[in-house]
Structure 1
């Protein structure tokens, strides 16, 4: 069974604007009877239990840790397209394995930074845990990927390989300035272009 993906098609940031319509799912019976009601919009993260069929958790589309020294030439680009598929420059949600690599993990947001020739994507994970002064983390501020509006940091020390079918939802496109800040740090660290 292929999981449904409901993208939030908006730019990340306080002055963001919606650029395309939301994908919609049918409203429950009797819903939407109020004038102006739009209960079919999916505007909140859909919580999935941590089961084997969580997108990105297992199988050929599992999100895995990529060794930056072994990924070959990486060409980063800012190319968000609000089409429900992950693209460089977008923050998407996927299942991310813990660093212990023991089968455990967590559904979390990641910033897609590059597309590989084989169709997979390279991404870096976000965290709302404060990392002030930690050189391995880049502060990017807050955005709609965090329901509570907390500031976020990007971990440039850990690169993930994400498959399109391993993504659960597209959250938003990070603005070019913040994307370029992260890319610059990745280029300095790994020699990417």
Structure 2
């Protein structure tokens, strides 16, 4: 996993992009949401879905249900400036052609903190 954002209009690790994320229980359906890109794999990218829902209040239930989250704070990827979390134990394959728009670059220190936390929860 490499931090490698470039302001060139193409999605890169370290950037937050908006793309369709399939639902776990029905992959034929999904939701457009922000995704933190963390790596490249061939022509595709690997990302972690993001949410503005605060899971700290129900952290024990989330863990029982097999969902683990990490706070990344707020940034320009959320127009309302809400704090966000990334889900650590669900890797998303992102095809560059499916990226609707780039949201922002996550700063290096927060990216490194996510990668460090990710090691404990990889599927």
Scaled to the shorter chain, the TM-score interval is: 0.7 to 0.9
Q: Which residue of 1 aligns with 2:76?
A: 144
Structure 2: runs of 5 or more not aligned: none
TM-score by length of 2: 0.87
2:84, 2:75 → 1: CA distance?
Answer: 8
Cα-Cα RMSD: 1.5
> Pairwise mapping of residues 81-120 of structure 1 onto structure 2 (< 5 A)?
81-116=6-41, 118-120=42-44
* Equivalences, count: 115
1:119, 1:146 → 2: CA distance?
Answer: 27
Shift of 1:187: 2.2
Q: Which residue of 2 aligns with 1:124?
A: 48
Structure with more helix by fraction: 2
Bigger Cα Rg: 1
Structure 1 stretches of 4+ with a deviation exceeding 3 A read none
TM-score by length of 1: 0.57
Structure 1: runs of 5 or more not aligned: 1-75
